Amino acid sequence: MRKRITYISPHKTAITLSLVLALSSLLFVVPMLVFSSFIPATDHQGNPINTGFPIFMFIAMPVFYLIFGYLFTALSAWIYNHVAKLTGGIIIDMSEENR
């Protein structure tokens, strides 16, 4: 069975993908936060240093992925929809699976 993708909903696609990106960023942020907790909070002379950066990144990275993932996915879907009008869209071959 041959199908053609002629329209992608920018908002629904962007919401879905931005949430996937934000949640998947935790796969990198959480281990980085754990490893950074083992770094001493003092410089080479024993003076205390600010260790707020890993906590900030733990919160900021998923939020950045969510915001920018939404914006760029919506933009990409919008561009695809305009290009699909000219080219006819992407054609996919699909088949029924017998179980």
User: What's the whole-model pTM score?
Assistant: 0.73
Q: What is the pLDDT of residues 37-72, one digit of tens each?
A: 777 778 888 888 876 666 777 888 899 999 999 999
Domain-wise residue ranges, the chain: 2-38+50-93
- Backbone phi, then psi, for 48, in 5-degree steps? -65, 145
Q: What is the pLDDT of residues 85-98, one digit of tens each?
A: 999 999 988 888 88
Q: Is the distance from CB of 49 to CB of 43 less than 8 angstroms? A: yes
Q: How many CA atoms lie less than 13 Å away from 13 in the CB half-sphere?
A: 14
